[in-house]
Amino acid sequence: MKYEKWISEDDIDWTKMEGLVPVVVQDIETKDVLMLAYANREAVIKTLDTNLATYWSRSRDELWTKGLTSGNTQYVKQIFADCDEDGPDALLYLVEPKGPACHTNNTSCFFREIAMKGDDTYGK
């Protein structure tokens, strides 16, 4: 992916979700989408400062550097922001994961599939 221009965390629209923006987390090698988390300004600054993916835990209401307990940290190589002219309101972290993203030990948190037409259990 190519950037159009460098921006900073100051350009992000922090107003839409009470100071939070959703963060899509993608493995920079495999390109698997690993998880969706949320970050506030402090979490983004800490991520920029340490290169360790840091989020805001909505359930614990605290800053959360992924993997500090489990060891499954995510080394952040690049951060992209979305296209909103009034200020980006979503981020994409491209990471090198040290282990599974999911607390279930799955590589990705997105391992449950919704049945669609043609699938075994669709409409049942």
Which of 74, 76, 95, 97 binds a copy of itself (CB under 8 A)? It is 76
Residue 97 touching a copy of itself (CB under 8 A): no
Given the complex with a copy of itself, which of 62 and 120 has the nearer CB atom? 120
Q: What is the pattern of x (binds a copy of itself, CB under 8 A) and - over residues 20-59?
A: --x-x-x---xxxx-xx-------x---x--x--------
Given the complex with a copy of itself, which of 30 and 70 has the nearer CB atom? 30
Residue 120 touching a copy of itself (CB under 8 A): yes
Buried b (16+ CB within 10 A) or exposed e, 13-52: ebeeeeebbebbbbbeeeeeebbebbbbeebbebbeeeeb
Rounded CA separation 102/35 (Å): 8
The length of the chain is: 124
Rounded CA separation 112/55 (Å): 23
Q: CB–CB of 32/108 below 8 Å? A: yes
**Residues in contact with a copy of itself by the rule CB under 8 A:** 1-9, 22, 24, 26, 30-33, 35-36, 44, 48, 51, 76, 78-83, 88, 90-92, 102-104, 106, 108-117, 119-122
